[in-house]
Amino acid sequence: MNTLLSCASILWITTMALVSPLSAQTEPELSKELPWFVEKMEPPILPEILVGRDWMVHHLESAGVVAVDIRPISMYDAGHLPGAVRVELPPEPSSLDGIRALLSQAGLRGSEVLVLYGGAQDRSAIGLAFLSLSALGWDNVKVLDIGFETWARAQLPISKDRSLRQSVPLALPPSPHSPFVTREEMIASFGRKGYEILDLRDKGGWGTGYTAPAGFAAGHIPHALPFDVQTLLPATGWPDPAQARGLLMALGPRASEHVQPNATFLLYGEGPTDPALGLGFLLLHILGAPARVFSPGFLGWTKEASDPVVRIVPAEEVQALLAREQSGSKPAGLRDELPKSFILLDLREDWDYNDGHIPGALSLPEHLFAERFDSVLHEHWPKADPAVTPLILYCYGRDCIRSRNCATLAAQRGFRKLLWLREGMSAWEAIDPEPAAR
C-alpha cells in the first residue's frame, strides 16, 4: 500500500477491504494507486441490488417476490428455487415488445420484486436480463449473490415443479428513463463534464502500463476509455460493491488522471448482442454508478459515415504517410513542409516544437486549440474537408493526454478520421533521432 496515503485514508481503505484477492487480481488492469478523491470521499450509499441466500430463503414464500431463473430449460427442470419462473430473454435487449410478451406469458404483472439467478457461468445472462427489465421500467429487480450450485450445495430448498402461473397482461407503463443512449446523445457527451464513455470490447482493458488493447487501438468512439468489465468480477459470484467501486474510480486515460466519481457512464461493445453490455450495465448499477448503453455498439457506430472514429497509429505509419505525401521521399529525407492530403498538428509547447518536431507538423499547443483550430485550418488547409481529411495529432508521449483531448474537440467540430499518435514525440524520436527543428 502506498506509504504516502494518510492514516485516515488507510483506515477507510482497510474498512472497504480493498486489499484482497480481487484487488490483487485486477491491479494490473487499472492502477495500483487509488485516485485522491476515492481516498477522501465518504463511502457512497449503494443500491440494494445484491441479496444473499438468507434474504432469499426468507422471501421464498412471499407473494410479492418472484425468483427468475435464466438458465437453460433442462437445468431449470432438474431443479430450481421454489416458485421460480424461467424466462428466456432475446439476446438483443432493445427488443422490448418481445420481452414484454415473454414476461406476460410467465405470469408476471409488473409489480413484483424480481430476483435474478443462474449458475456460476451465467453472470452475463443475468446482466442482460437486468438491462432488459430496466428498459421496461421494472423498478425493483435484484440479483441473488450466489449461483444455483452454491445454493444446492448448502442444501437450501429446491423444487422440480414448473411454475403454473397464468398468463396475464403486463401492467407496466413505459419507462420515462431509457437505459439506451442515442447516437446524438453519444456525440453530445464527447468531453462533456459528467459523462464517461467506456469501450467494453477488449479483454484486459488498458493492460499493464496503460497499453492500448488491439480493438481499441484499431478504432474507438472519441473520448472513450477501454474497460474490461471482467476486471471487477471475482472468480465466482459478485464483487463487494464498495471494493469494486474503488477499482472503477481508478480507471482513467493515464495513471495520474481518473474518471469522474459521479459521472454517468455510457457503455458500448462490439454490437447489440455483445454480452459485456448487460454485464457492465448491471455491475455499474451495483456500484451505484449511473450507466446507459449504446446498443448498436461500435459496429453500428461505424456504419454511419458521419460518425467520428479515433484510431491509434504508430510513428512508422505517420512516417509512411509523410513519405507518400512527398512523392516517395525516403523517411530519412523528409522535408519539413506541411502535407496537403492530411493535417498534422503538434500539441506540445512552442519551445519544445522549436527544439524538434515531426517534419511537416504545425505547432498548435493544446491550450490554444479550441481558440485557434478553425483559423489554422483556414490559413494552412483551406480545402480540408472534416468528413474525409485525416487529422493526425501528437504530443509528448503515452502519459500525455493532449492528443486525446484535442481529438475530442476536433470530433465536436465535425472531423471524422482522427489519427492519434499516442506514443507521441518520444515514439518519433525512436525512429528519427534527429527530428526537424526551426
pLDDT single digits (tens) 56-78: 999 987 889 999 999 999 999 99
* Alpha carbons 264 and 81: distance in angstroms, whole number: 35
Residues 213 and 314 in one domain: no
**Domain final position from 263, 281, 301:** 301
As to burial, measured by CB atoms within 10 angstroms (0-12 exposed, 13-18 middle, 19+ buried), residue 234 is middle
**Domain final position from 153, 188, 217:** 153
Q: Would you say residue 82 lies in a domain? A: yes
* Alpha carbons 374 and 345: distance in angstroms, whole number: 13
Residues 416 and 337 in one domain: yes
> pLDDT under 50 in the chain at which residues?
1-34, 36-39
Q: CATH number, domain at 294? A: 3.40.250.10
* Alpha carbons 92 and 113: distance in angstroms, whole number: 23
Q: Would you say residue 136 lies in a domain? A: yes
Residues 107 and 133 in one domain: yes
pLDDT of the residue at 44: 67
Residues 264 and 192 in one domain: yes
Q: Would you say residue 165 lies in a domain? A: no
Residues 328 and 289 in one domain: no
Q: Would you say residue 232 lies in a domain? A: yes
* Alpha carbons 436 and 174: distance in angstroms, whole number: 61
Residues 380 and 356 in one domain: yes
Residues 289 and 315 in one domain: no
Q: Following DSSP, what letter does each residue of 97-147 receive, concatenated?
A: HHHHHHHHHTT--S-SEEEEE--TT-HHHHHHHHHHHHHHT---EEEESS-
Q: Would you say residue 412 lies in a domain? A: yes
Q: What is the pLDDT of residues 145-177, one digit of tens each?
A: 999 999 999 999 999 987 666 677 777 776 678
Q: Would you say residue 162 lies in a domain? A: no
Q: Following DSSP, what letter does each residue of 57-92 receive, concatenated?
A: HHHTT-TTEEEEE-S-HHHHHH-B-TT-EE----S-
Q: Which domain covers residue 66, as residue numbers?
A: 50-153
Residues 339 and 404 in one domain: yes
Helix (H, G, I), strand (E, B) or coil at 227: coil
Contact 225, 196 (CB under 8 A): yes
Q: What is the pLDDT of residues 202-228, one digit of tens each?
A: 998 898 889 999 999 999 999 999 999
Residues 74 and 122 in one domain: yes
- Burial code (b: 16+ CB inside 10 Å, e: under 16) for 344-354 equals bbbbbbeeebe
pLDDT of the residue at 93: 74
Count the domains in the chain.
Answer: 3
pLDDT of the residue at 3: 34
pLDDT of the residue at 429: 94
N- to C-terminal Cα distance for the chain? 47
